[in-house]
Amino acid sequence: MPPVPTLPRLITRTLQPLPLGPLQLPLSLVLRSVVARHPHIFERLGEHAHKRFGLEPSDLPFSFVLAPHPETPSLVAVRSLPAGIPVRIAGPLLALLGLIDGSYDGDALFFSRDLVVEGDVEAVLALRNAIDDAGVDLVADTAALFGPLAPLSERLLAGALLRLKDVAGAAKHEGARTWN
């Protein structure tokens, strides 16, 4: 199990002033692709599919609100999570992505305090188990949006993610603590 890398503060600061508007369409498309390619997620989510989940990358200047409703799923970028959101899941971006692609264990991240969970724990477990079983591959699921260019897109996206991990792994983040 790899240690949890944190994005350099330079990236966080660079992203800070950028508007969130341009993110919304790509986020929506990626979520629809994930849902279309992994429809069994909803069987495991059950009643929790109708809840809202706040996803808070601790090394990004914005957060996400996920509403995995079977008919109208939505993923929206927000400056800060709305008050009263039923679930808050916070941690480094690459830890959150690692929970999705199966490279990290959620309980281990919780034990190491890299992952913070607040709110409806039952919904959190259902989401975690549904995603872990589905075998979501964000790179492949995103690349699938590009039709015949999917193989090329997948290579480019995988390379970009690898580069991001390299940058994060090499970064010295003040106060950062790996969990192994």
Contacting residues toward another protein, per CB under 8 A: 1, 43-46, 48, 98-99, 102-108, 110-113, 116-119, 121-130, 132-135, 177, 179-180
Residue 114 or residue 154: which is nearer to another protein going by CB?
Answer: 114
Residue 9 or residue 177: which is nearer to another protein going by CB?
Answer: 177
Distance CA 87, CA 159 (A): 32
Distance CA 51, CA 141 (A): 23
Smallest distance from the beta carbon of 105 to another protein, in angstroms?
4
Distance CA 167, CA 5 (A): 9
Chain-centre distance of CA 62, in angstroms?
12
Residue 11 or residue 73: which is nearer to another protein going by CB?
Answer: 73
Smallest distance from the beta carbon of 44 to another protein, in angstroms?
4
Question: Long-range contacts for 159-163 (Cβ within 8 Å, ≥24 apart)?
Answer: 161/97
Residue 108 or residue 150: which is nearer to another protein going by CB?
Answer: 108
Rg (alpha carbons) of the chain, rounded to whole number: 16
Smallest distance from the beta carbon of 18 to another protein, in angstroms?
28
Residue 43 or residue 166: which is nearer to another protein going by CB?
Answer: 43
Smallest distance from the beta carbon of 67 to another protein, in angstroms?
17
How many Cα atoms occupy the beta-carbon half-sphere of 173 within 13 Å?
Answer: 20
Sign of CA pseudo-dihedral 38, 99, 171, 166: negative
Smallest distance from the beta carbon of 108 to another protein, in angstroms?
5
